[in-house]
Structure 1
Amino acid sequence: MEDSKSENSLGLIFDLLNSAGYVDATKSNVPSAEKLAGGLAWCIAALNPSDPRIGSVTGDVECIEEALELVGCPHPLKPSHIHHLDGEFIFPVIKWLVDRVQLKHEVGGNKATDSENPVGEDEHTRQQHKRDVEETEISTKMLSGDLDELKLRKVNVMNKLEDLRERISNKAADAAVQKLVMLLKSLRDLERQESHFLSYRDAKHSEIQAEISELEGKIENGCDSKILLDGLHHSFSESLRKLDSAKKELAAKMSDVIAIKRQIDDLPCQPEVVQYEQRLSELYALIQGRHRQTRKCYATYNALLEIKELMTKEASLLNSIISQFQEAFSSPDGRMKLIKSMEGIVKGGQQKLEKVQIGLQEEERNLDDVKKRYAAAVGSQKRCYSLMKAFQEEVAMKDKPACQIPTTEC
């Protein structure tokens, strides 16, 4: 399939060369690579024969590559493309060259026709304008073709850029790309700082060299030693002042650096954060245990307090019965009051018992719900264990060599 496709593309290429006027394109006894090289050289020479660098192009593929760059071909072409008959790269180059050769032939034909038919001055001017218009139209067509090619190349570049972005996003390399961009920005900043420092250094070096030259000139000219000493003292004092100023500035910057370091030291590092997290987890577990213990103590206290109240009521009731029993049985009215009182006590006890039974039933229902959830959790755990065991057995079977797996054919 690829061979037939390559042959078709080569056939189209040779047809284009033949249509442009390259007669050797139809020769079957010449190798395809030589015909391609010759056709390219012929087209390049036809475009600009006056240029000695282009007019002397032969079938050498290296010269053809350089000549294509000279004529401004927008399509890249390597010697390997010609040797391997790569039609994907050769066809756009041939198409571009043939179009321009044909346009050049049309312009040359129009000029030759005008030169063969001499006319008057007005007619000559009109024909000259006509030729200018035709040349302008041809140039416009060429520029339009170049613009279309540039648009096509732009679309291809945008597609490649989009593919690259998709590959970056698919490989989850966004963080790495952002980090690389940040590093490149940092590199540019460092280069800018380096250039500023070098310029400052050169300026200071030039200034110091100028001062040295000035002092040497004064010494050679026999300047007064007192004036020279005064100048040296002044320069020395100025240097000391600059040194003190630089030291103060350095001390201020060092204090800022120390303050920033202290702020950085105040921030916990990763091991400290992990240790804090562990300690907080332990503290949370301890608080939960104490909370459960406290709730249990409160529940016990409330139960004992309720028992105490019931026992106190029972004791007071018994004391009341004992103290009023003899007096109540001495008269019929007393006996009736005692009986009614006992009935009220029994009724209150029954009501209390009913409340306790209702609470007990509620607790039993809660207990049943908890038992059901526990049974469901145990069943889920058993199923999980069985599935895990089956999965491990399946993995073990997969890990065994194929020869050890029993089959029906064996």
Structure 2
Amino acid sequence: MLGKDIFTKHLPNINLATRFDADGREIQVERREDEEQNLKQQEIFDILVAAGYFRARIKGLSAFDKIVGGMVWCMEACDFDVDVDLLFSENLTIGQKIALTEKIVAVLPKMSCPHLIEPHQIQGLDFINIFPVIQWLVKRSVENRAERAERLKCFAVGQFHNHFKLQVDQNVREKNSKVLENIEKIQNLYAPRREFKKKAPSGSSEDELTKVRITLLEFGDKGRLLAPNRQRSFNVEELEEKTSEVDESDVEHLFSHLSVQDSQENYLEFQQLSEEDREKIKQNYEELKEEFSIDSQELSQQNQIKALLVTKQSLERKLAKIEGSNRELKEVLQQLKEKEAALKQEEVGTEAEIEDLIRREEENDSGVLATVKQLVMQNDALKQEEIEFKEKCRKELGPGDFRHTSNGVWKTFGVNPVDFPLLSPHHRLMRLQVSATHRETKHFYTLYNTLGDTKMYLTKELELLNSIYESYAATQNSTSSRAQFLKQFESMAEGIHQMKLKIKNKCDDEKARRDGLNEQLLIQIDQQRKLATAVKQLQLECKRNDELQEKLKSLT
């Protein structure tokens, strides 16, 4: 059993989960844990929680329960019915799960879902294919809930207006009722009154247009009566001439059907009124007249007040705008004053630094140049001495068997024997002194170049500050010149920033170059260490070889 556990094949990233077949028997299936699947699963749960399905937060529930519950919840929110049990059971068989997912998938085409999915993909937790469906369902449910909320809001507002009234609405309704009463009185006062009465109908037949004209004449309407057989004219002047002409014979013919009795009857009706009714009519007339005069005065006053309020509001807005611009100008002026003070301080400090640098340059230029010249001459002399010393050593050593043998051995290793001379301590000290002098000379050259660059940048900074100071004094007279000065100042600052970035990039390049050279130095040191070890071994082998040769000679 132990050997079986040791030599069992290891399957990475695979979990054996317990599943049930259609008969209810347990089977083990492989479910691959993919990083993309896990990412999509977490995105699905986050979307469901953001949409309002907080069961996706419960850690004790299975992923299948959360996915199925979220899909059914979204479908119910979209007003679609799903034929599933109210109580969900976690211990479902694979057949029951597929049947449940088939019911869910059958609803998706009814909802016009643009994404396709199979029941076995939901049952197998294929989160990559489930994600677009869940995303679309959540979006659809959110839109449906927003529409439902808008409808409920409109319904609630309508119910509120039906059952409750605000004081403002009550006042407006009372005012409208009073106005309607006055309008009704005016309409009754100026209602059309019959002046003529139509005679008894004779046997002659009349067309509809003639009847209409006779009816209008009964109420005193003697407007422009056009003939029934008039022609359409596209000329406006001809149309006005035709409409202005009244057929007197036609009007007399129409009046022959009327009798002048209504005016007398109306007058008799008015005369039949009692004195009290007449007084009431006159009193009502006077009251209406007073009300109209008061209303007209109030309307004129209200119009004047509204005009004054509008003027006041516009003036207040202008005043606020002017005050805001004034505050901004004061802030800009304060900032400019602070910048001017800072620039003056920088100018004073820069002038002091420039004077100090000029003084140092005057003091050190001659000494530094003399030192550099002396070091260069000394370096050349040391190089010449080194060359002469090498020639002298070569002449003193001369050719020999040992030298030829060692040279052959060195060449077998691919190393030039000239690179490893037998150096004396004096020669080594001279070489160290030459290298130190060379390093010091290089340092002086670098320092001189750095000081020269610093002087150049300080001179440019001083010139820039002087130009800013001169232009600042000239820009205090007008706003346009001040704005132009600010633009120039911003462009200068941008240029300085760009130059700073270039210098920083150059510094980074130099640092990278230094790091690369350090790596090369470490590699060369490692090679030198290995070469020294090889040389030591070679010397030991040469010594051993010499000893063996001596023993061989003694034996022979």
Q: TM-score range by the shorter chain?
A: under 0.3
Higher helix share: 1
Taking structure 1 as the reference length, the TM-score comes to 0.27
Taking structure 2 as the reference length, the TM-score comes to 0.20
* Greater radius of gyration (CA): 2
